[in-house]
Every structure is written in structure tokens, then in C-alpha cells.
Amino acid sequence: MNVRTKHIPQHMLYVNGVTVSFDGFKALNNLSFVVAPGELRAIIGPNGAGKTTMMDVITGKVKPNQGDVFFRDTIDLTQHDEADIANLGIGRKFQKPTVIESLSIFENLELALVGNRGVFKSLFHTLSATQLARINEIIALVGLSERRNELAGALSHGQKQWLEIGMLLIQDPDLLLVDEPAAGMTDHETAMTAKLLREIAGERSVVVVEHDMEFIKALDCPVTVLHEGRVLAEGTLDQVQNNEQVIEVYLGR
Amino acid sequence: MPANSRLAWLLNDVAGKRLLAVVLAITVLVPILNLAVPADSFFHVPTYWVSLLGKYLCFALLALAVDLIWGYCGILSLGHGAFFALGGYAMGMYLMRQIGDRGVYGNPLLPDFMVFLNWQELPWYWYGFDNFAFAMLMVLLVPGILAFVFGWLTFRSRVTGVYLSIITQAMTYALMLAFFQNDMGFGGNNGLTDFKDILGFNLHADNTKVALYVLSGVALMIGYLLCRFVVSSKLGRVLVSIRDAESRTRFVGYRVEHYKLFVFVLSAMLAGVAGALYVPQVGIINPGEFSPINSIEIIIWVAVGGRGLLYGAVIGAILVNYGKTYFTGAFPEVWLFMLGGLFVVSTLFLPQGVVGVVQQWKQKRAERKAFKQVTPSASPQAKPDSSTAAVETAS
């Protein structure tokens, strides 16, 4: 799509020994894993396994008590805030689709478009022809061309999820964190989303947190299982589904 | 086309253009009807009305300032009266220095209240206010700097919603208590008054009053254009984005606190200008302007007019203040109840304010028209189901 001049790092994301505790409760407990450049990775785990906290740590919303989080080998993410991290090239999709409901689909994407985020630059901002083309390209990619001027609030749940993915893509991130993209989608939409995420990966690293096993199967990628704030198992979906410990955690004691 | 698109923010604002036309018309017409029409004519506008209308225009500018932060960025400031009052005090200090030795005590340097308190010299913060340009700079800077410091501390700590509203309310209350103190050097509870002239023009002359009125109208128009420009820019869409989904905006990479700070300071400066135009027209500024109820009233104007539209705030401010003038004259004891009732009614039944009601009514009428055009043979009153019922009873 666009020429990348940055060097390819060894690890896109490197998480080592991260611990986060809230009032003594360890939401993350010595969590370690790495994501390679261009990798698509699914993360599963029962409720309270620490999936959302993990995303919060990577995107700067929560500072870890211990451990290292590095992006592109050298950037220490624990030293940056949300806006910084977004501009460094990490996009995040929330569990509940959050688009700007009182702006049009076009304006939502315009807002997310990569570029200067300064106050005064925004005041006198005008779109260039290339930027306009880029917005149109993404609108087409997420299948919303006919509704470009409608308010985002008028979209269906699934379409909002897609618009939000579009907003992530147009930020041109190196790493996408996607929290439960298939929630509330029809089977057809779920399949389309899996296809879209597979296409995106390769050029970018994508980490997907999901509950829906059908969706994970459709993603066809390595799976990491979280439990009580740390990694329980890693491997293909078949491998982790046949893992004794995983079965025990999921089926209950 | 490219020349047009630079001005699209103005050209697409149909309601705004109408509002500007009305404001321009009254800014031009009222002075003519006051100065050029003989006093016994039916069309004569008394000077009392000119100053009253000028006051409404200042309030409209203040409402605009509040709508900019509340309607577009979701910052519900319950302390905006403070910025208005500070702008007013800056103007008041200039007007006090203009009195010179014409005060009751005839002291050429010290205002009367300082002589009365046995002060020997002018406090340092009164220096420079004898210069009009300096005083006007302070009208912008004092509210602007307070808003900057206040906003810097609160927005950076991510204080939002009702907590922010409470702190703004505390801010204006604290300022009120401070300004009541005689030691502060702002005239205590009497405030600043007995003004004589502005730039050498007698404040009690009709011409001066008309000029202040015209300036208020011009300030309102410029303020409206400025606000419209801001909310139509990409910055305006970032503000809406912050209002609707603050953390989303952050994760897209915008520094939310910088945007809030910008718009909060701009709004405080507009409020300061409104206060500075207000004070010479009413002839007094006292700590009562800082009282929390004043700030809450501004919110009511905006809510009644319709927030997040800009012109709604202007309409609301003028409507409610006209109502206040009328009812405090006719039934003084019920006004506060009416004000409270107005707030409840507008919150419960008019989420888009008066402007929203008009828009809904227009939309309904357009739909009815469209329906009539689709079925030209059907009689206008007969609804489809009632006409079939009529056929059934006939058969």
C-alpha cells in the first residue's frame, strides 16, 4: 500500500515479566510474550485473565508495577502516554465499538488519518488530494462507500466495528490491538472480519483478543492462552484446545 | 470553487447567516431609531432600551463562549461568570482611573474607596490601568491566564464531567469571597462604580451609550464568526470527538488536554470581552457578578436556546434575559421559580432547546407537504386509516 522506509525490527512487541496489581489483586502476573513483525496473533482466556489489562499496558493507559514493554525493539512503552503511543504506531480497537457518533463516517476517518495532531495545525487544516484518496480507499475497504456522509451513530453494531477498524488502519500503525472484533456480528460479518484481519497482517502485526472459537479458527493463526495474568499455553488452535491445563481452566474445576 | 471552499464554513451555515443578518440589522437600526427619530415619534427607541439591548448582546456573547466549550467539547463550566466578571473588573479599573480628581474626595491618583480606607498609595496591580490599550489587553489576558492555569491543572489531571463542574463553581465562589474583601483593593462589596467617561466621552451621553451598544453588536458578530470558524475546522471535529468519546480520541493520538485548554482559554477571553462591554453600559461592577447563580444562569440560557449550535446560545440568552426583564418587573417574586422551572422543562422536554423545537416543527411540516404531494387526490385532513373507516361505515 505505502512504502515503508523504517527498518524491520526483530520484535514488533516485546513484553517481559509484566506485573500489574490493583489493590493487591494481580491483574497481570509476570506476563511475557513477543509478537513478530507482520504476525497475526490471537489471545484467548477466560474472564478476568488479564486480556484488557494487557492492552491497557501496551497502549499506556495503565503503567505496570514491574516488567518491560518494548515496541520495535527500542521504544520503551512504559515511558509514554496514550497519545504518544498512538502516534508511535500502535492502534487499538475497543471491546465496545467506539466511533464518534455525531460525526459522519468520512469525518471519523479524517480525524483518524495519520498526520499532525497539533491544536493549531488542526485549526487551519485542509485535506490534500492524496489524503482524500486515502480516506476513500479505506471507506471502500471497510465497505461503507455508500454511507460515507451519514452519521456514524446511524450504523449497525457490526458496521461500527468495521468503521473502527478503518479508523485504526488509516492511522497507519505497525501494530494493531483488536479487542473482540466479532462481538455482536452476524456469521457473515464475522467471516468477513477474519478475512480482513488476515489481509491486514503481514504488512502490520495484529493482536486479536477474542472469545469466539469459530472466529479464531477462521483467523488460522498462533494462539496464546492467558490465565490469571500470565501465559498458560501457546501454539496452534488445535494444540491449545487439546492442552490439559487449558481444558481444565475453560471447563472449570 | 477553491475560493468558495475556503469560506465554506461560513457559506454553509444558513441559520448562522440569518442570525448575523438580524444582529447586523438591530445593530444598525436601533441607533438610527434612537438618535435620528424624534423623541415623541412612535418609532423612537428610548436610550434606556438601547442600553438594555446592549446588555443582552453582551450576555449573548457570553452564552456563545459557554456554548463553545459545553456544546462542542462537553466541558460544563459552572464558573464562566468569573471570566465575565474579571473582564468587567479590568474595564472597571480603567474607568475608575479615568475619574481622576473628579471623585468625591478629589484625589487625583486614588479612587474614592481607597481614600476612604485611608490608603496612601495605589496598589501595584492598579498601575497601567489609566492606559486604555493596557486595560483592553488585560480584559483578554486576565481571564485567559486564569483559564490557562485552571485548565492546565484540571485537564492534565483528567478531571471531567460533574467533578469539573463542581471545581469551576468553587473557583467562581472563591473569587467572589476574595473580591468582597476590602483589602483586595477592588472596592469590596460596593465594587467599582460612579464612572464618568471612557476615552474622554461622557458615559451618560446618549451618543456614548449608542456607541457602546454598536460595539457590543459588532463584538457579538465577530465572536460568532470566530466560534463558527473554530467549530467548522478540523479542530472543531476533534472537540466533538472529545465530547463523544474522550478516550477514543486519545487512542487515535490527539492530546485531549491541549485541545480542551485551547478552547477553554478562547472561551474565557470571549467571556472577558463580554464583561468589559457590559460594565460601561450598566455603570457598575461588583463581586455579585462572581456569584455561582450567575454562572448557572448562563447554562440555562444556552440550554433553553439549544446547545451545540452557537446561534441557539445567542437566541437563548436574548430570550431568557428579555423574560427576566419583563417578569422581574411584572411579577418579581416568581422569577426565580420560573428560571428553575425553565431549566427543568428544557432538560426534560427540550433537549435541543427552542431551536430544536422549531427545527422539528419545520421537518414535520416538510414531511406533511411531501405526503400531500405524493397523494394529491387525498383530502388534506383524512388520514389513510380514517378514510378506509369512513368507506366501511358508508357501505
A125-141: average pLDDT = 92
B253 vs A83: CB contact, 8 Å cut-off? Answer: yes
Which DSSP state fits B46? P
Distance in Å, alpha carbon of A249 to nearest chain B alpha carbon: 33
Task: Specify the range with the lowest mean pLDDT, choosing from A181-190, A244-253, B219-228, B246-255.
Answer: A244-253
pLDDT per residue over A144-161, tens digit each? 999 999 999 999 888 898
> Which position has the higher pLDDT, B390 or B117?
B117
How confident is residue B375, by pLDDT bands cut at 50, 70 and 90? Answer: low
How confident is residue B383, by pLDDT bands cut at 50, 70 and 90? Answer: very low
- Domain membership flag for residue B394: no
* Residue B35 in grid coordinates: 438618535
- Domain membership flag for residue B389: no
Contacts of A98 in chain B (CB under 8 A): 245, 247-248
A123 vs B258: CB contact, 8 Å cut-off? Answer: no
pLDDT per residue over A177-210, tens digit each? 999 888 888 888 888 889 889 988 888 999 999 8
The pLDDT value recorded for residue B4 is 53
Distance in Å, alpha carbon of B262 to nearest chain A alpha carbon: 8
Share of chain B above pLDDT 90, in %: 75
Of B230, B241, B252, the CB nearest to A86: B252
Closest CA to B61 of B297, B275, B308: B275
Q: What ipTM goes with this model?
A: 0.86
> Which position has the higher pLDDT, A61 or B4?
A61
Distance CA A225, CA A44 (A): 5
How confident is residue B380, by pLDDT bands cut at 50, 70 and 90? Answer: very low
How confident is residue B272, by pLDDT bands cut at 50, 70 and 90? Answer: very high
Domain that holds residue B204: 16-294
Q: Tell me the pairing of strands B284-285 and B192-193.
A: antiparallel
B247 vs A82: CB contact, 8 Å cut-off? Answer: yes
Dihedral pair phi/psi, residue B100, rounded to 5°: 60, -135
Of B240, B252, B262, the CB nearest to A102: B240
Read out DSSP for B85-150? HHHHHHHHHHHHHHHGGGSTT--SSS-HHHHHTT--S--GGGTTTTSHHHHHHHHHHHHHHHHHHH
- Domain membership flag for residue B164: yes
The pLDDT value recorded for residue A6 is 64
- Nearest Cα residue in chain B from A84: B253
- Domain membership flag for residue B204: yes
Residue A80 three-state SS: coil
How confident is residue A252, by pLDDT bands cut at 50, 70 and 90? Answer: low
Share of chain A above pLDDT 90, in %: 55
> Which position has the higher pLDDT, A176 or A252?
A176
Distance in Å, alpha carbon of A106 to nearest chain B alpha carbon: 12
Of B235, B244, B250, the CB nearest to A83: B250
- Beta partners for A18? A31
Mutate to test the interface with A, among B1, B252, B255 (most CBs of A within 10 A): B252
Read out DSSP for A170-222? HT--SEEEEE-TTTT--HHHHHHHHHHHHHHBTTBEEEEE---HHHHHHH---
Distance CA B291, CA B169 (A): 9
Is pLDDT above 80 for B3? no
Residue whose C-alpha cell reads 485567559 in the numeric block: B144
Contacts of A161 in chain B (CB under 8 A): none
- Domain boundary assignment for chain A: 13-251
Of A103, A119, A124, the CB nearest to B241: A103
- Domain membership flag for residue B174: yes
pLDDT per residue over A62-78, tens digit each? 999 999 999 999 999 99
Is pLDDT above 60 for B263? yes
The pLDDT value recorded for residue A2 is 43
Distance CA A205, CA A218 (A): 17
The pLDDT value recorded for residue A31 is 92
Of A87, A100, A119, the CB nearest to B262: A119
Q: Cβ distance B130 to B94 under 8 Å?
A: yes
Is pLDDT above 50 for B392? no
Distance CA A4, CA B274 (A): 52
How confident is residue B367, by pLDDT bands cut at 50, 70 and 90? Answer: confident
A13-25: average pLDDT = 91
How many domains does the structure of chain B reveal? 1
The pLDDT value recorded for residue A143 is 87
Closest CA to B262 of B237, B232, B235, B294: B235
The pLDDT value recorded for residue B5 is 66
Q: Tell me the pairing of strands A75-76 and A230-235.
A: unpaired
Architecture, CATH, for domain A13-251: 3-Layer(aba) Sandwich (3.40)
Distance in Å, alpha carbon of B80 to nearest chain A alpha carbon: 23
- Nearest Cα residue in chain B from A106: B237
Q: What share of chain A is helix, strand, coil (3-state, %, to 5)?
A: 40, 25, 35
How confident is residue A251, by pLDDT bands cut at 50, 70 and 90? Answer: low
Is pLDDT above 60 for B386? no
B165-184: average pLDDT = 96
B253 vs A99: CB contact, 8 Å cut-off? Answer: no
The pLDDT value recorded for residue B288 is 96
Residue whose C-alpha cell reads 463580554 in the numeric block: B274
B108-118: average pLDDT = 92
The pLDDT value recorded for residue B371 is 82
The pLDDT value recorded for residue B2 is 42
Is pLDDT above 70 for B65? yes
Radius of gyration of chain A (CA): 18
Distance in Å, alpha carbon of B347 to nearest chain A alpha carbon: 20
Mutate to test the interface with B, among A90, A93, A119, A165 (most CBs of B within 10 A): A119
B241 vs A111: CB contact, 8 Å cut-off? Answer: yes
B146-171: average pLDDT = 96
Cβ atoms within 10 Å of B333's Cβ, excluding its own: 8
Distance in Å, alpha carbon of A13 to nearest chain B alpha carbon: 18
Of A82, A100, A119, the CB nearest to B259: A119
Dihedral pair phi/psi, residue A144, rounded to 5°: -120, 20
Is pLDDT above 60 for B342? yes
- Domain membership flag for residue B11: no
Q: Cβ distance B241 to B249 under 8 Å?
A: yes
How confident is residue B50, by pLDDT bands cut at 50, 70 and 90? Answer: very high
pLDDT per residue over A92-121, tens digit each? 998 888 899 999 999 999 999 988 888 998
B262 vs A117: CB contact, 8 Å cut-off? Answer: no
Question: CA-CA-CA-CA torsion for B209, B210, B215, B220, nearest 10 degrees?
Answer: 100
User: Residue B91 burial (CB < 10 Å; 0-12/13-18/19+)?
Assistant: buried
B252 vs A171: CB contact, 8 Å cut-off? Answer: yes
Mean of the per-residue pLDDT values of chain A: 89
Distance CA B26, CA B34 (A): 12
B250 vs A112: CB contact, 8 Å cut-off? Answer: no
Contacts of A179 in chain B (CB under 8 A): none
B268-294: average pLDDT = 97
The pLDDT value recorded for residue B389 is 40
